[in-house]
Amino acid sequence: MKNSLLLLTVLIFSLKSFSQDSKISLEVNYPIPLGDNFIGKSYDGIADIGIDYKFFNKSLFNVGASLNGGVFLNNSFDNITTTAYTIQPRVFTELKVLSKIRPSLGIGYTIIVFNISGDSNLETPSTESGLNLNLGITYDITKKIFAQVQYDFSSLSTSDDVPDISFNTQIQLLKIGVGYRL
């Protein structure tokens, strides 16, 4: 037990000393599906978590990479629940135009894994994916804590059994959340 506690303490201090130079931030968001598409009409956002790493810092802007993961639920059919898991890697640029407000623009990829459970013959997961564009703005509450709003637009490519129409391919999400800079 003492060895585990000592290892955990060393790990926390090591991460803290590493992260002071690495520009890492963690975020928690509430995702809200928007638009006339299958996600916006049928799914409820549960949570979205993310990690950002700013690898290039200049006086007017930052460039970095981020990874977000989200969970959405669809309970609109009797005895069938569909859970959609989103994975969104991207690169972004954050402008430092005002002292506390930072707009950002990102481009990346969206992967959505659908898991169906209940009274259904389709209990095997299916996956859709495509290009992701992200617009965001953060407001620094303190030096370490910030609030943010993000808009994600994803253009998914469809599989053979899904019609190639905007209802099935254009996903829009609004994410409202908070973050912490390590």
User: Residue 19's pLDDT is what?
Assistant: 41
C-alpha to C-alpha distance for 137 and 151, rounded to whole angstroms: 9
Would you say residue 128 lies in a domain?
Answer: yes
The residue segments making up the domain with residue 111 are 23-181
Bridge pairing between strands 24-34 and 170-181: antiparallel
Query: What CATH code is carried by the domain that includes residue 93?
Result: 2.40.160.20
Highest mean pLDDT range out of 59-63, 67-71, 118-122, 127-131? 67-71
pLDDT at 25 over 90: yes
Count of positions (residues) in the chain: 182
Would you say residue 42 lies in a domain?
Answer: yes
Would you say residue 7 lies in a domain?
Answer: no
C-alpha to C-alpha distance for 154 and 175, rounded to whole angstroms: 14
Would you say residue 10 lies in a domain?
Answer: no
pLDDT at 7 over 50: no
pLDDT at 161 over 80: no
Question: What are the tens digits of pLDDT across the range 62-98?
Answer: 999 999 999 999 987 778 889 999 999 999 999 988 8
Would you say residue 125 lies in a domain?
Answer: yes
Work out the percent of the chain whose per-residue pLDDT is above 70: 82
Distances (CA, A) of 3 to 15, 16, 52, 127, 161: 18, 20, 31, 42, 54
User: Residue 159's pLDDT is what?
Assistant: 65
Q: What SS3 state is found at 7?
A: helix
For the ranges 20-24, 61-65, 122-126, 137-141, which has the lowest average pLDDT? 20-24
pLDDT at 29 over 50: yes
Would you say residue 4 lies in a domain?
Answer: no
pLDDT at 133 over 50: yes
User: Residue 33's pLDDT is what?
Assistant: 93
Would you say residue 103 lies in a domain?
Answer: yes
Give the number of other CB atoms < 10 A from CB of residue 16: 10
**Domains: count for the chain:** 1
Strands, E assignment, the chain: 24-34, 44-57, 61-77, 80-95, 101-118, 126-140, 145-157, 170-181
Q: What is the CA radius of gyration of the chain?
A: 19
Would you say residue 159 lies in a domain?
Answer: yes
- Average pLDDT of 90-109? 94
- Average pLDDT of 132-141? 97
